[in-house]
Structure 1
Amino acid sequence: MSERPTAEAAGKIDVGGDLTVNRLGFGAMRITGQGVWGPPPDRERAKAALRRAVELGVNFIDTADSYGPDVSEELIAEALYPYPDDLVIATKGGQVRPGPGNWVPDGRPEHLRSVCEGSLRRLRVDRIDLYQLHRPDPKVPLAESIGALKELKDAGKIRHIGVSNFGEQQLREAEAITPVVSVQNRYNVTDRSSETMVDLCEQESRVFLPWAPISESDNVPLRTAAERHGVSTRQIAIAWLLARSPQILPIPGSGSAEHVEENIAAARIELDAQEQNAITDVVG
């Protein structure tokens, strides 16, 4: 029986130039309750998913204070603290949750300072390796939000700054204030709205984190490739992302250890150019 594949099969990627991680991470949104609200139905099952991810070589976990809210960060610490030396935990601030399924941007500097402190406490760390502005707040000048993150970085509470749900103009405005090492936008087989941002990240050696990396799709070449390789369409969708750009760091998530294993097994799938292009061309 062949050895179970690990995240190392996806290769390596540098985050900020001084953190090297395996290029298949774990997104910790789905370890919360329905609507990304409250605790999961089974906390132990969620923690088992986190532990299994790390056992299989995942050393990059992405979360946010708004997942739960607070629940995802709390579970990460419960399951994994004290952390392995090579584990990078990225979190986000800048969205508040009035209720299940509701997301409201809040980029006020005082809010960002407060939620960053909360993330430090819940994750039980002195410094957050990658802290991302979750979404620009149209009511707050972007320079004020990014400026607050720079102050937190200067104070030693953040190692690197990233952004999420950004366009190129917003990225350039942020970069004028402080280095930005990552962009996290929605991107998958069926949603290519951030195609130019992927290309930009590749050109500038910046990490691109695709959220919602797996999309159910009528993509016939995707199904054909899955049948040819004897795997699921979910796994092919992850393999497609890995092949799309060396700067893409997929972060599929799950509250199930079994699904975690399936996602990580995608790291060993090698799509040939014809398969890759056929899947791309359906939408592209």
Structure 2
Amino acid sequence: MRHLDIATAKPYSVIGLGTWQFGSREWGYGTDYAEGEAGRIVKRARELGITVFDTAEVYGFGRSERILGEALRDSGGTNDVVVASKVFPVMPTAAIVQQRGVASAQRLGVRQIDLYQVHQPNPVVGDSTTMRGMRALRDVGVIDEVGVSNYPLQRWQRAEGALGGARVLSNQVQFSLVSRGPMAEMLPWAQRTGHVVMAWSPLAQGLLSGRYNADHRPSGGVRATNAMFLPENMRAASPLLDLLRDVASVHDATPAQVALAWLVHFPNVVAIPGASSVAQVERNAAAADIVLSDSEHGALTAAAEAFHPTTGLSALPGLVRARR
């Protein structure tokens, strides 16, 4: 497993583990997954060198934090892993941020949260008060590093200014072959300044796994409302998916592994895919060892840029038809 070349108290693996699925009903994995498979996934992830484990208080309304915390304790504790969580951004004033940070640490069963993030920018509450709460949590040792999530670059920079001289280490944003927004300005700035871009939905909820096509699409869970899986979008994605398969065959890998390798080809990026099984977390971890050539990486980027899905309001008629 490779790690970021950034000065942090603990090493950040370039492939992490996202745990939204732990205890969250919207994924439809059931209680057996939460009570058994989740623990096995965490244990195997650690064995494979994954050090970054990401959760949030909103995932399963705290259940994900509890499940992750228990799994980490059962598999060796938290001294050698990065435990990351997020504050639910409803009225994130200083006092509420402090209260929620302490509550998350208690659910996780840790003395210190290694990376505590603001889950969304709040349109009403400014970052000056939110970061005052973060600073207080850091000063008393409840958290180590501060991060944000889904922040545009300029607001990320302003949030760091509001923290009073300390860094806001990371920004967790949607980033994948089909969501390349961070490449324009955010990622170059992070690389220049020693910050981290954490990529959520790095496989576009499975679109980049190569498992689906226009005639075989996901029918339930959160993917059922994802416009990317509309038949017209699946057909439009065919050239990109075919290229992923071609590159995967060269590296004796899967399309999903190549899509992850494309992401972590960039310095200062941590991809945090979820995992529905031990086998999947094994495949995710192995993606860190795939070294794409510059020509392969460039060809994948070009194929992704040629993909123009139907999204937003234009996708609503198709989503309604799919639901029917």
Structure 1 distance, partners of 2:99, 2:67, is 20
Identity score, percent: 30
CA RMSD of the aligned region, Å?
2.0
CA-to-partner distance for each residue in 1:201-256, whole Å, 9 max, x for gaps? 1111111100111121421422221232232111111110111x110011111131
Q: Which residue of 1 aligns with 2:293?
A: 272
Q: 1:38 to 1:277 in 2, by over 3 A?
A: closer
**Runs of 4 or more consecutive aligned structure 1 residues displaced over 4 Å after TM superposition:** 36-41
Tell me, yes or no, if structure 1 residue 263 matches structure 2 residue 284: yes
- Equivalent residue runs for 1:1-284 within 5 Å: 8=1, 11-14=2-5, 17-35=8-26, 40-42=31-33, 43-81=35-73, 82-95=76-89, 105-178=90-163, 179-195=167-183, 196-215=185-204, 216-217=207-208, 218=237, 219=240, 220-243=242-265, 245-284=266-305
Displacement after TM superposition at 1:84 (Å): 4.7
Q: Which residue of 2 aligns with 1:99?
A: none
- Contact 1:31-1:255 at 8 Å conserved across structures: no
State the secondary structure of the residue aligned to 2:190.
helix
- Contact 2:24-2:59 at 8 Å conserved across structures: no
Structure 2 distance, partners of 1:38, 1:151, is 37
- Contact 1:187-1:211 at 8 Å conserved across structures: yes
Displacement after TM superposition at 1:26 (Å): 1.0
Displacement after TM superposition at 1:119 (Å): 0.9
Structure 1 distance, partners of 2:71, 2:41, is 9
- Contact 1:201-1:207 at 8 Å conserved across structures: yes
AA matched with 2:156: L
CA-to-partner distance for each residue in 1:85-116, whole Å, 9 max, x for gaps? 31111111124xxxxxxxxx442333322221
Which of 258-267 and 109-118 deviates more? 109-118
State the secondary structure of the residue aligned to 1:111.
helix
In the alignment, structure 2 segments of 5+ residues that lack a partner are 209-236, 306-324
- The number of equivalent residue pairs is 265
Displacement after TM superposition at 1:16 (Å): 5.3
| Bigger helix share | 2
AA matched with 1:207: V
- Contact 2:196-2:268 at 8 Å conserved across structures: yes
Structure 1 length-normalised TM: 0.87
AA matched with 1:13: L
Structure 2 distance, partners of 1:135, 1:204, is 22
Which of 159-168 and 265-274 deviates more? 265-274
Displacement after TM superposition at 1:157 (Å): 1.1
In the alignment, structure 1 segments of 5+ residues that lack a partner are 1-7, 96-104
Structure 2 length-normalised TM: 0.76
Bigger Rg, structure 1 or 2: 2
- Contact 2:10-2:81 at 8 Å conserved across structures: no
CA-to-partner distance for each residue in 1:30-76, whole Å, 9 max, x for gaps? 22333269974431111111111111111111111111111111111
Q: Which residue of 2 aligns with 1:3?
A: none
| Bigger strand share | 1
